[in-house]
Amino acid sequence: MSNDIAILIIDDELVVRDSLTKWFREDGYIVDSAENAVEALKKLQQRKWHIILLDIKMPGMDGMQLQPKIHEIDPSIAIIFITAHASVDTAVQALKAGAFDYITKPIDPDHLSHLVANAIKQRALQGENIRLKEQMEEFTKVDEIIGDSFQMKKVFELIQTVAKTDTTVMLRGESGTGKELIARAIHANSERRYFPIITINCGGLPEGILESELFGHEKGAFTGAQYRRKGKLELADGGTLFLDEIGNISIKTQMDLLRVIETKQFTRVGGNEIIEVDFRIICATNMDLERAVKEGTFREDLYYRLNVFSISIPPLRERKTDIPLLANYFLKKYSQAMSKPINSISPEAMEILLEYKWPGNVRELENAIERAMVVGSPPAITPRDLPFQKSEGTLEYQSDSLATLEKKHIQNILEKNNWNISRSAEILGIDRVTLYNKIQKYGLKRPE
């Protein structure tokens, strides 16, 4: 290993250069020396140096001035300053400016060996770190968020702005607009990307279960709690907690959640041990939270805690220019997955896709393309492969409000599928809980 490490000694005193050169040669390192900054900068261009021993006091450009120039050429070089006792303060400044360490003259041989060994170890660790990070980048890559419209470009800008910070983000948008994908993109671009992103669908779980999911529980906390279990808050330690459908949580859980957000501490259900956690919160909702606050169903203090940086994801019908792009993306995706040679969408089918209102947004579009890929035949998706036709999906609804349109569409799909909730939810591109909520919201009833 010593044979690969190159050490450059920069000192104006010949005796220092000579004795250190000799010392390191005996250790088997590649060693050279320079008597001033000019010579050193020349030697830095000639080969790769791993460690530099740099004298602070030199005529002309001194060590302190030379340090940033060395790191400009190669930031990975470990610089060890050589200083007299009197200049220790200067050496401390150098450390703050990124030097690896400093050593005072005359040098204790044991100290010198340890310093150099540590510098080599650190270099190896840095290399390993870079390699691991590169590997991790592969794991943390998120699915591509497709969109070329003005609205989506704005969303991308907001993601970039907020990702590097630790700010709580609230994602607003209708079902199926890709809120989870955006949350993952924020996480993947943040400093927390090497830790997990933990998703909790708050709307999909009854209160007791949600509490246990969030906080975990101790053995025997309730019937069936046979083992201690870590909650999602604990699992998200270091990473991001994505709370989907935040508007649907009960007042009690809202209170518990607020306490955790404020203190970053909690106890497991049935436990006394205080657990400290560090996570970033991203939450999402398609509800009118402001209205929920006014109506008293959502705590105002929690609302302000969560609504720090808001990103609104536009519904698909408001960014029609993205439809061909998305449709072709899904076409390619499913064509590859199904090994089916359908590689285009006929102009007539595309016209229908463009005119349709997409109440289930991108998720509905993806489902529509997936379905078309299943029922369709090569070489292209045609109108008859789509789950709706021009007359029922577009013209009929044109004068209705969005809510009426959504209600009619849901009713239509439910009836067509004989009120099979799972199948209808799949076609609508929403989950079952959301569909139940919408059935309740619009007062839809199954025919007797």
Partner 1 sequence: MTSIHVLNGTSFSLRDIERLVKSIQNIYSLPVFARNQSLNLEEAYDPIRRQFNSTVLLAQMLLLPNEHKNKLISLVEVDLYVPILTFVFGEAQLNGTVSIVSTHRLSNLFYGLKNDPELLLSRTEKETIHEIGHMFGLTHCHHFECVMRPSTYAEEIDFKKIFLCSSCSKKLTEKLNQSAKLSTSEREENSTA
Give dist(CA 306, CA 246) in Å, integer.
Answer: 10
- Nearest approach in angstroms of CB 145 to partner 1 is 51
φ/ψ of 60, rounded to 5, equals 80, -135
Q: Which residue has the tokens 């991790």?
A: 136
Q: How many CB atoms lie within 10 A of CB 166?
A: 13
**Is residue 15 at the binding interface for partner 1, with CB under 8 A as the rule?**
yes
Among 12, 19, 297, 423, binds partner 1 (CB under 8 A): 19
Among 45, 59, 89, 110, binds partner 1 (CB under 8 A): 110
Select from 110-118, 155-163, 237-245, 358-366 the region that touches partner 1 (CB under 8 A): 110-118
φ/ψ of 447, rounded to 5, equals -60, 140
Among 23, 195, 330, 358, binds partner 1 (CB under 8 A): 23
Give dist(CA 338, CA 418) in Å, integer.
Answer: 28
φ/ψ of 204, rounded to 5, equals -95, 0
Select from 14-22, 133-141, 199-207, 402-410 the region that touches partner 1 (CB under 8 A): 14-22
- Nearest approach in angstroms of CB 35 to partner 1 is 14
Give dist(CA 224, CA 229) in Å, integer.
Answer: 12
> Which own/partner contact pairs does 221-224 have at CB distance under 8 Å and 24+ positions apart?
221/268, 221/269, 221/270, 221/271, 222/269, 222/270
Site string for partner 1, 162-201 (x = CB under 8 A): ----------------------------------------
Q: Which residue has the tokens 């959640």?
A: 257
SS3 at position 425: helix
User: What residues have CB less than 8 Å from 92, skipping those under 6 apart?
Assistant: 102
Question: Do the bridges between strand 216-217 and strand 229-230 make them parallel or antiparallel, or are there none, so unpaired?
Answer: antiparallel
**Is residue 265 at the binding interface for partner 1, with CB under 8 A as the rule?**
no
- Nearest approach in angstroms of CB 23 to partner 1 is 7
* DSSP-assigned beta bridge partners for residue 280: 240
**Is residue 22 at the binding interface for partner 1, with CB under 8 A as the rule?**
yes
Q: Which amino acid is at 271?
A: G
Structure tokens at 339: 């090994």
Among 4, 39, 74, 108, binds partner 1 (CB under 8 A): 108
Among 4, 18, 39, 137, binds partner 1 (CB under 8 A): 18
Q: Which is nearer to partner 1, 9 or 281 (CB)?
A: 9
Select from 103-111, 123-131, 160-168, 345-353 the region that touches partner 1 (CB under 8 A): 103-111
Q: Which of residues 111-150 bind partner 1 (CB under 8 A)?
A: 112-113
Structure tokens at 41: 């900068």
- Nearest approach in angstroms of CB 57 to partner 1 is 14
Contact present, 82 and 107 (Cβ < 8 Å): yes
Q: How far apart are the first and last CA of the chain?
A: 82
**Is residue 303 at the binding interface for partner 1, with CB under 8 A as the rule?**
no
Cis previous bond, 106, omega within 30: yes
Among 59, 109, 347, 443, binds partner 1 (CB under 8 A): 109
Among 8, 40, 107, 186, binds partner 1 (CB under 8 A): 107
- Nearest approach in angstroms of CB 19 to partner 1 is 4
Q: Which residue has the tokens 């890709």?
A: 178
Q: Which of residues 46-85 bind partner 1 (CB under 8 A)?
A: 82
Among 7, 8, 10, 16, binds partner 1 (CB under 8 A): 16
Give dist(CA 175, CA 443) in Å, integer.
Answer: 19
Q: How many CB atoms lie within 10 A of CB 211?
A: 20
Select from 107-115, 204-212, 325-333, 334-342 the region that touches partner 1 (CB under 8 A): 107-115
Contact present, 275 and 234 (Cβ < 8 Å): yes
- Nearest approach in angstroms of CB 115 to partner 1 is 11
Select from 105-113, 214-222, 409-417, 438-446 the region that touches partner 1 (CB under 8 A): 105-113
Count of residues interacting with partner 1 (CB under 8 A): 23
Q: Which is nearer to partner 1, 82 or 205 (CB)?
A: 82
- Nearest approach in angstroms of CB 136 to partner 1 is 32
DSSP 50: S
- Nearest approach in angstroms of CB 117 to partner 1 is 10
Q: Which is nearer to partner 1, 18 or 262 (CB)?
A: 18
Contact present, 344 and 381 (Cβ < 8 Å): yes
Among 5, 8, 20, 158, binds partner 1 (CB under 8 A): 20
- Nearest approach in angstroms of CB 8 to partner 1 is 15
Cα dihedral 288, 291, 293, 297, rounded to 10, equals: -80
> Rule CB under 8 A: which residues touch partner 1?
1-2, 13, 15-16, 18-20, 22-23, 25-28, 82, 105-110, 112-113
